[in-house]
Amino acid sequence: MSADEMGRVSGRVLRERANMSFCIVVIFFAVFFVIVLTEIFLIDQSSRSRNRRGHSRLRSNYDEAVIIAQHGEDYLVYQNLAEDSKNYKSSYMAQNPLLPYRTSTANLTIPAKDGVWQSVAGTRYKFFVFSAYYDWRGTRMVRIMAATKTRGPDRVWCLFWYSKANSTHGITVPGKIKAIRENWNLKYSACFILCPLQPDLSPPKSVSIVTRLSPTPANRLVVNHYYPSLKPTPTSPPGKIEVCVKPIHFYYNQSLRMLEFIELNSLLGMDHITFYNDTMSPQIDCILQHYIAEGKVTVLPWRLDMASQREIRTEGLFAALNDCLYRSMYKFSHVALLDLDEIVMPRHNDTIQQFMEWMGTRLNTKSTGSYSFQNAFFYLQWPDDESLSEDPFENSLISMTKTRRRAKLHPHKQRSKYICRPEYVIEAGNHFVWEFVPGHGTVNVPSDAAILNHYRVCEFGGDDCIKSASVLDRTAFRYRERLLHRVKERWTQLSQKCSLQQPIPKKKIPKKVKPKTPS
């Protein structure tokens, strides 16, 4: 082949390659253009579909709240999406069409109970129910406190029991399980079972949770807040405050600490305390029985058959907190959710009631659903206060001996605790309210108005925490004489009956005085 022929062949090959590259580029851009057009078309269709039908699926209750900041960073208001609230029932019924009401022929030998764990028969996983409440705020329903598998729980039905004359009949509706948010991704979680009530259906006096439509139930719960009218309007007693304490476990036996907690909260204006008993010592049980007889304390049994921290978070405490919230609703105006080593301490007021009145003069608190208090650690490793006497009771009271606290407070929502209006809350958390009734929210209380005194050892173990910057805080001394008198009086009253051991006097360590240097 001559040089000219080779040149022509080489040129033809180059032109063919160039044409092929051009075609590939054109095809690529054409495909890309088609993809873009398709995406735009689908988005437009989706938007039109939402405008015509509202939401095509029922949104999670946990997505119903949008947090918006008002009045600066320290005032949060939770505003509900109105269309979700309005369409909740119709959407739920559309997803779970009600078959004609099924009258159950199940036997009624099982008595209706309240405040005790009962099992749900026929489930693949552990499933327990504790209590039931008629909830008419917005969508009317029976709300049940329960515990079961966090993800993929068994499907259940709510069996409402009605009595007429000498006969009893049941009506079955599908139940919706909503895992409580703070489940820590463990296998089991505290949860709500939501049992919707149709507009013409009155609330039942008891309810069972079953796995089949024609069951023999293994549980039956009394429905609390039962009112014959469809939408009652009860009012909470003004200024009445309940304290809710998470389950007591590990055979708790700190008798003096328990007396101090109850009496100091009483001085602060708290009217009643609800405890949940997993395990406690005989001495603690004896003390609490005394307060129960006076109407100042309620103790509910709390033996949940789930391994704490391995299967469910800390004895299922979130079921207890929410049960206490709903149990207190319409009986108390406010509810404080606290641990035994925590006290809400106002700076300028003697009682919590006075504190809330004082806050009301500085803020518009009509829509306030909760007051959040920043956490302040009073580490137990710090030395005792030096101003105390040698009285064995006085120098054994933790709120009197531990007056040094960490200078830096935790921000709100981190280890904070709160006092809430129960009828404005849908879901309570440990450190803040997760969900409010629309139109209500949280006031973050400034630290110069009140804080949470938290008496504990270093949270990460060891003693390094005491190296952190600290301040002396003797605000609790406001109650010093009154608290000491009350605790001594109770101790004298119960020491023999409850086999209480006398506090051991602490020896004061004298300060080392530096010798003066001669001038």
pLDDT digits (tens, 9 = 90+) for 422-467: 999 999 999 999 999 999 999 999 999 999 999 999 999 999 999 9
User: What sections of 173-224 are H helices per DSSP?
Assistant: none
Query: Cβ(135)–Cβ(195) under 8 Å?
Result: no
For 217-231, 371-385, 477-491, which range has the lowest pLDDT when averaged over its residues? 217-231
Mean pLDDT for the chain overall? 85
* Mean pLDDT, residues 223-231: 85
430 to 330, 434, 474: CA distances (angstroms): 21, 9, 27
- Going by C-alpha positions, the residue among 236, 473, 494 that lies closest to residue 343 is 473
For 146-150, 416-420, 464-468, 509-513, which range has the lowest pLDDT when averaged over its residues? 509-513
Q: Looking at the predicted structure, is the pLDDT value of residue 76 above 50?
A: no
Give me the pLDDT at residue 176, please.
Answer: 98
> 77: pLDDT confidence band, cut at 50, 70 and 90?
very low
What is the rounded CA–CA span in Å between residue 470 and residue 160? 57
Give me the pLDDT at residue 28, please.
Answer: 74
Tell me: the pLDDT tens digits for 161-203? 998 878 888 899 999 999 999 999 999 999 999 999 998 899 9
Tell me: the pLDDT tens digits for 326-343? 999 999 999 999 999 999
Residue environment code for 84-109, b if the CB has 16+ CB neighbours within 10 A, otherwise e: beebbbebbeeebeeeeeeebebebe
- Going by C-alpha positions, the residue among 453, 455, 390, 389 that lies closest to residue 254 is 455
Write the single-letter amino acid at 138: G
200 to 163, 230, 231, 273: CA distances (angstroms): 16, 8, 11, 37
Q: Looking at the predicted structure, is the pLDDT value of residue 413 above 80?
A: yes
What is the rounded CA–CA span in Å between residue 253 and residue 258? 9
Give me the pLDDT at residue 81, please.
Answer: 30
SS3 (DSSP) at 390: coil
* Mean pLDDT, residues 394-399: 97
User: What sections of 212-340 are H helices per DSSP?
Assistant: 255-267, 282-293, 317-328
Global model pTM greater than 0.75: yes
Query: Cβ(217)–Cβ(245) under 8 Å?
Result: no
Q: What is the dihedral of CA 245, 251, 252, 256, to 10 degrees?
A: 130
> 227: pLDDT confidence band, cut at 50, 70 and 90?
confident
- Going by C-alpha positions, the residue among 449, 467, 469 that lies closest to residue 458 is 467
Tell me: the pLDDT tens digits for 239-278? 999 999 999 999 999 999 999 999 999 999 999 999 999 9
Q: What is the dihedral of CA 12, 14, 17, 22, to 10 degrees?
A: -100
Q: Looking at the predicted structure, is the pLDDT value of residue 24 above 70?
A: yes
SS3 (DSSP) at 131: strand
User: What sections of 303-412 are H helices per DSSP?
Assistant: 317-328, 352-360, 398-401
Tally of CB atoms within 10 A around 114? 16
- Going by C-alpha positions, the residue among 255, 505, 263, 264 that lies closest to residue 391 is 505
For 72-81, 281-290, 393-402, 441-450, which range has the lowest pLDDT when averaged over its residues? 72-81
Give me the pLDDT at residue 56, please.
Answer: 31
Angle, CA 251 vertex, CA 321 and CA 384 arms, to 5°: 90
Give me the pLDDT at residue 3, please.
Answer: 56
